[in-house]
Amino acid sequence: MIGEVIMEMIIPKLMATIVDDGVTAGNMDVIYSVGAKMLVAAIIGLLVGILGAMFGSHAATGFARNLRRGMFRNIQTFSFANIDKYSTAGLVTRMTTDVTNIQNAYQMLLRMAIRAPASMIVALIMSFTINAQLASVYLVAVVLLGCALMYIMVHATNYFTGAFRKYDDLNESVQENVSAIRVVKAYVREKFEGEKFRKASENVRQLLMRAELILAWNAPLMTLAVYSCILIISWLGARLIVLSGATSFTTGDLMSMLSYCMNILMSLMMLSMVFVMITMSAASAKRVAEVLDEKSDLTNGENPVTEVKDGAVKFNNVSFAYKKDGEKALENINLDIKSGETVGVIGGTGSAKSSLVQLLPRLYDVTEGSVEVGGVDVRKYDLETLRNSVAMVLQKNELFSGTIAENLRWGNPHATDAEIEEACKQACADEFIERFPDKYETYIEQGGTNVSGGQKQRLCIARALLKKPKILILDDSTSAVDTATDAKIRHSFAEKIPGTTVFIIAQRISSVENADHVLVLDNGRISGYDTPENLLKTNAIYQEVYNNQTKGSGDFDEKGGEA
């Protein structure tokens, strides 16, 4: 950029020489020689300008890539508690719009923040070497225009900052509409969703429009300053030429001064745009920095344990709250579960069943007490080791775009075809996979939209089984499966993975009635923990749910909540 500026500043000076020593004097040799120098300067300026633009583009796009990569990698390390701080739409906005704003500002900084000051300083110096009195006009114009542009910049950037915050609402509206498009169409809510999106986009439009209306004053102010300087310089310069007889100030000098006038004032305008871009991107930079600086609250301690002995689980006076000083989701949980046992977990909605099992793979850390797996506090394990030993089939099943085999290999990337088929048999997924024309190469759409809820659940169970875990957690993961298939899956577990500790969270009594023990949760506390037979005799909640479901009413929340 500096090389380009130097070449641009040399050309007006050479032009003055051509006019004074060549055109006015009628000397063609001077015109040819100085013209050749101007051509060389122009070519050098073009080449270094191209190199500057190329290197600047590489740097800016590489910087944006590094920001996105850094954010994505850091997000992968987040615990659930970290993820809860950000909305999905907010993270998407940070990785797209915010990074783009930073990239544009960075590229402008590389080009304009060096070019504009250098151009203005060199042009001022060259102007003062020609005529200091006339050059002082530029200083006055620079000060006045600088104050006006600073006023514009401050007021415009306030609106830009507000607009970028509104992008989160805009992206959230789009995300919700696309992900829930089937529900939207089923309830004929297209107009409602359209109105919601219109309001979000209108908020962004209004803020950006106000900012752009303020920035629009840049052009007329710049034009006013340029033409005012041209008029003043032309008037004063012409008087100097006439009064001095073109001795102290020549026509070529006047042409150079006018060229430098444009360079100085355009440089000032470029600087104003640089400051606007910096201020615009400052809000984006803060949002990106929040994600980059966020550190997972779940980290490995010193010398972490790298082997899980077995699937024995122990809860020691465990209490848990999602937020610090917030309401406790679990309180005073004490359990001692032997390796290989099957434990059923039942309770009404909001009784913290999922919260309980999420403490095992350390998706969250306990607030009080401790959770042990294999006789060791989970906080002492290497996180990767622990989570490879605990397989979870979450309440909300997720499949990814790709073939069935590719989805199943999420559980074990090195699984053989035979191992995949065996896991599918245990999860009773082979029954429907074999009916597909492409069998295990059948393509699954994003989110598993081309398979039924029950099929999706069985594929997720098979995926978990491929991990060959010490602990298997089924979080209401057979709710879409018929009772007969549910029984087959449980029977398969008892036969095929007898050494694995299994947690079955369920609403149906039939899903847990053959478990070794059943845990009954009520508002985050243990209401009962015993064999199904004993609970049927001693626990009022279990009794009522059992009686209602065996009589045909299967709604746990409605009936069990009254007990």
Nearest alpha carbon to residue 346 among 194, 520, 207, 175: 520
Written as one letter, the residue type at 295 is K
- Name which residue leads in pLDDT, 264 or 532: 532
| Strand, coil or helix: 310 | coil
Q: Which distant-in-sequence residues (6+ apart) come within 8 Å of 189 by Cβ?
A: 183
| Pair of tokens at residue 437 | 């024309």
426 forms bridges with which residues in the sheet? none
Distance from C-alpha of 141 to C-alpha of 228, rounded to nearest angstrom: 9
Distance from C-alpha of 296 to C-alpha of 352, rounded to nearest angstrom: 23
Identify the CATH assignment for 2-293 out of 3.40.50.1370, 1.20.1560.10, 3.30.1490.20, 4.10.640.10.
1.20.1560.10
Q: How confident is the prediction for the chain on average, in pLDDT?
A: 82
Q: CA torsion sign, 465 to 467 to 469 to 471? A: negative
Nearest alpha carbon to residue 554 among 511, 520, 522, 507: 507
Burial level of 517, CB count in 10 A (0-12/13-18/19+)? buried
pLDDT at residue 261 tops 60: yes
Q: State which fold the 313-560 domain adopts.
A: Rossmann fold (3.40.50)
SS3 sequence of 503-539: EEECCCHHHHCCCCEEEEEECCEEEEEECHHHHHHHC
Pairing mode, if any, of strands 368-373 and 376-377? antiparallel
Per-residue pLDDT tens for 333-358? 899 999 888 898 888 777 888 889 88
Burial level of 418, CB count in 10 A (0-12/13-18/19+)? exposed
Per-residue pLDDT tens for 379-418? 888 888 888 888 888 777 778 888 888 888 888 888 888 8
Half-sphere exposure of residue 469, counting CA atoms within 13 Å on the CB side? 29
Q: Are 451 and 460 in contact (CB under 8 A)?
A: no
Q: Are 303 and 368 in contact (CB under 8 A)?
A: no
Q: Which distant-in-sequence residues (6+ apart) come within 8 Å of 209 by Cβ?
A: none
Pairing mode, if any, of strands 342-347 and 517-522? parallel
Please report, for the chain, the start and end positions of each structural domain, with discontinuous segments joined by +. Answer: 2-293, 313-560
Per-residue pLDDT tens for 482-494? 777 777 887 777 7
Choice among 158-172, 285-299, 413-427 with the minimum mean pLDDT: 158-172
Dihedral angle at the C-alpha atoms of 132, 134, 136, 141, nearest 10 degrees? -150
Distance from C-alpha of 17 to C-alpha of 23, rounded to nearest angstrom: 9
N-terminal to C-terminal alpha carbon distance within the chain: 78
- Name which residue leads in pLDDT, 191 or 562: 191
Per-residue pLDDT tens for 367-382? 889 999 988 888 888 8
Statement: the pTM of the whole predicted model exceeds 0.95? no
Q: Are 380 and 305 in contact (CB under 8 A)?
A: yes
pLDDT at residue 296 tops 80: no
The pLDDT value recorded for residue 562 is: 38
The pLDDT value recorded for residue 65 is: 93
What angle is formed at CA 20 by the lines to CA 15 and CA 23, rounded to 5 degrees?
85
Q: Which distant-in-sequence residues (6+ apart) come within 8 Å of 439 by Cβ?
A: 404, 433
Q: What are phi and psi of 471, to 5 degrees?
A: -130, 130
